[in-house]
Structure 1
């Protein structure tokens, strides 16, 4: 059922989105910076945005096509943005292309679950008078385009635009082998990877300053249902953010209970409560790549991330405690903000965020949405390929099995 969001809703939306982003999806800081300027005036002609379901955007009363829009790049760099200029310009380019074909753009599709992904989708929609779809391409945040359901569904990537905050507009044209069709299945599985390889050097150019606005994967109403099987994720994030703000989720047991009751997720604490003790980060090619260490008694937990958290280890166990595409989030106890992304925990100089201090931090993990774990599928294979250079060469093992199965060689 459609509903309306206003400026007061962006704070809970971005906090809930940050939790579901598996350590990534843009920082709370960057999303909050953009949200602070969402008010009717010279830039925004309105300060409300309509949210619609996939069924409404793909049914007989659909108003037009949809396009995915996002900021792509290093979270620390995106923190400087005041308005979503690059994404807005990218979507306007799509509008112009569709208009020339006698088509109309009506909907914005968020790329992923995350503070920035949801915030940017809403802000671009408000700026351009479009609606936001209550769904996304992963149910978590992801480091690369082939990990999204839009890619797995083989939606034609043309037209696709990458635009800097300064207005430099780059059209990415990956033409299928047979220009009059969308190409063969095996070829289309490679298209999103090729686009990804094109984008990363571009955002690394000084003109882009490590980030840009991306509009890609235009979907007709007939294509939308198959391309967005993971639904209700924006509402899920908004509802969690409101529960956090109202003080109904103040500790790990309450969070796990909320996720089961309202999110349909079987989450669990995969670490003991501990203190942040170390961080290492390097920003290049549009990625923040690093490690975060948490010390809890005899355990040292290490989260390895590439913008998003991909693998976590316990020093007293011989195998990982969570593997992507499964999600892992930080929950910080005590007064103040309880949800942080990797980019929020690590400062620009590589030091730990002093706001967290000695407060206890717990890692919470849950299994990925089913479309992300299809055996031999594009999404799962893309995650496993990314885990290889991080030192993991094994198969995908769900977090529940990692936690519940007895392990040979486990230290006592």
Structure 2
């Protein structure tokens, strides 16, 4: 059944989305900054967002087609945006294109689980009179388009529009090898090509390291197969509200909550320690860096490309976690307990002073089954990214890497 969200819900959604975003998916700062502007007025015609299930949007009473919309770029660059102008204009272009073909756009679907992905989808939907679908393409945040179920499901990536915050619009149109829509192999190839085209574009000064992307138009009959990972927006909303209320104060409490309410077998993959060092470089629409935590003789290092992709323990001969499995920070003590990498590391590469001296634990859990298909587009795309970061081994599911630490989920 459809439900309505208001501004305070978007604030919680950003917090919960950040936790499920595996360190990425946009910063809490940028998502909540956008959410604070969500009031009825000159920009927004309404102050509520309609959220519907996949079943509602793909069933006999579906009102039209759906499109994925997202901000693409470096989290630090997006922090300054007041309104999701780029994503809104990208969706307007899709809507106009469909209308010219006698088709109707009715739904927005988020790209991934993440603070910005969820909030931007909601805000664009509210601006344009559309509804948001309670699902996403990964159940975590990802650094590239081929890692999403929309690409793996071979949804036609045309039309696709990339629009700057200032309104500069680029249509990404890769001509099929054969036929009007191309074959299945073409669809997967194009998701990779489009990704390679977009990164230099958002890195151009006209884009300023970020832009709004609308891609993958889905008919009701296509939507179900393209969105097997469902209920993720509601999951993030509920967790965010509980975290904001201060009802989860320890890693053990979070692990218990994830098991009881989300069906996730999370575990602590590090001993509790303190943040020690960080480094970041922003280029081509990515924040690329590392964050270190020390605990006794252990130094835990998380390597990220916007999203956390690899975690090492200095005393272990192999990684303690590799993507696509998810990794989240949980910071104890007074104040904010959930952070993304972009919230932890400031533009100059220094650590956010609000976490100084506080105990932090790395929590991990296994990726959704759709992300772990051997030889599939999604898993192969993750392995390609890991190779760029220097890891040449196979994907080893978290369940096989080591036994849970004391106090973790069994």
Task: Check whether TM > 0.5.
Answer: yes
Equivalent position of 1:107 in the other structure: 107
**1:410 matched to which residue of 2?**
none
Aligned-pair CA distance for 1:243: 1.1
Q: Deviations over 1:148-167 (max 9, x none)?
A: 00000010000000000100
1:167-186 matches, cutoff 5 A: 167-180=167-180, 182-186=181-185
**Displacement of 1:249 after TM fit?**
1.1
Say yes or no: does 1:136 pair with 2:132.
no
Task: Map 1:239-318 to 2 at 5 A.
Answer: 239-318=238-317
Q: Deviations over 1:92-137 (max 9, x none)?
A: 0001000001111000000000000000000000101100000000
**What root-mean-square deviation, in Å, do the aligned CA atoms of Structure 1 and Structure 2 show?**
0.8
Secondary structure at 1:305 match in 2: strand
**2:379 aligned partner:** 380
List per-residue Cα deviations over 1:250-278 (Å, max 9, x = no partner): 11011000000111100000001111110
Question: Which residue does the alignment assign to 2:364?
Answer: 365
Deviations 1:51-87 (A, max 9, x none): 0000000000000000000000000000010000000
Structure 2 match to 1:200: 199
TM-aligned CA deviation for residue 184 of structure 1: 2.5
Secondary structure of 2:355 counterpart:
coil
1:22-44, Cα deviation, whole Å (9 max, x unpaired): 00000011101101101000000
Cα distance in 1 for residues equivalent to 2:234 and 2:275: 31
- 1:189 and 1:129 map into 2 onto residues whose CA distance is 31
**Matched residue, 2:223:** 224
Is residue 95–residue 105 contact of structure 2 (8 Å, CA) maintained in 1? yes
Q: Deviations over 1:133-183 (max 9, x none)?
A: 000000000000000000000100000000001000000001211232x32
**Alignment partners' CA distance in 1, 2:159 and 2:294:** 47
Partner of 2:23: 23
Instruction: Tell me the residue number matched to 1:42.
Output: 42
Q: Specify the SS of the correspondent of 2:362.
A: strand
Per the alignment, in what secondary structure is the counterpart of residue 354 of structure 2?
A: coil
Q: Which whole-Å deviations, capped at 9, do the CAs of 1:297-354 have from their partners, x for residues lacking one? A: 1100000000000000000000000000000000000110000000000011110000
Tell me how far apart the structure 1 counterparts of residues 244 and 23 of structure 2 sit (CA, whole Å).
20
**Is 2:7–2:38's contact at 8 Å kept on the other side of the alignment?**
yes
- The answer to whether residue 342 in structure 2 is matched with residue 343 in structure 1 is yes
> Following TM superposition, by how much is the alpha carbon of 1:2 offset from its aligned partner in structure 2, in angstroms?
1.3
Find runs of 4+ consecutive structure 1 residues off by over 3 angstroms: none
Rounded Cα–Cα distance in structure 1 between residues aligned with 2:147 and 2:163:
22
Separation in 2, partners of 1:175, 1:220? 21
Shift of 1:187: 2.4
Q: What secondary structure, in the 3-state scheme, does the structure 1 residue paired with 2:175 have? A: coil
SS at match of 2:335: coil
Matched residue pairs, number?
Answer: 404
1:36 & 1:226 partners in 2: Cα distance?
A: 34
TM-score (normalised: structure 1) = 0.97
2:160–2:214 Cα contact (<8 Å) kept: yes
Following the alignment from structure 1 to structure 2, what is the Cα–Cα distance between the partners of residues 333 and 175? Answer: 51
Is 1:159 matched with 2:159?
yes
Q: What is the DSSP-based 3-state SS (H/G/I as helix, E as strand, rest coil) of the residue aligned with 2:50? A: strand
2:18–2:28 contact (8 Å) kept in structure 1: yes
Compute the displacement of 1:4 (Å): 0.6
Aligned to 2:148: 148
Counterpart in the other structure of 2:407: none
Deviation of 1:403 after TM superposition, in Å, equals 1.7
The corresponding residue for 1:124 is: 124
5+ unaligned residues in a row in structure 2: which ranges?
Answer: 405-410
Farther-moved stretch of structure 1 (85-94 vs 395-404): 395-404
**How many angstroms does 1:404 deviate by?**
2.7
Q: Hey, what does 1:59 align to over in structure 2?
A: 59
Contact 2:293 2:300 in 1 (8 A): yes
Contact 2:157 2:187 in 1 (8 A): no
CA distance in 1, matches of 2:287, 2:119: 20
CA distance in 1, matches of 2:275, 2:387: 26
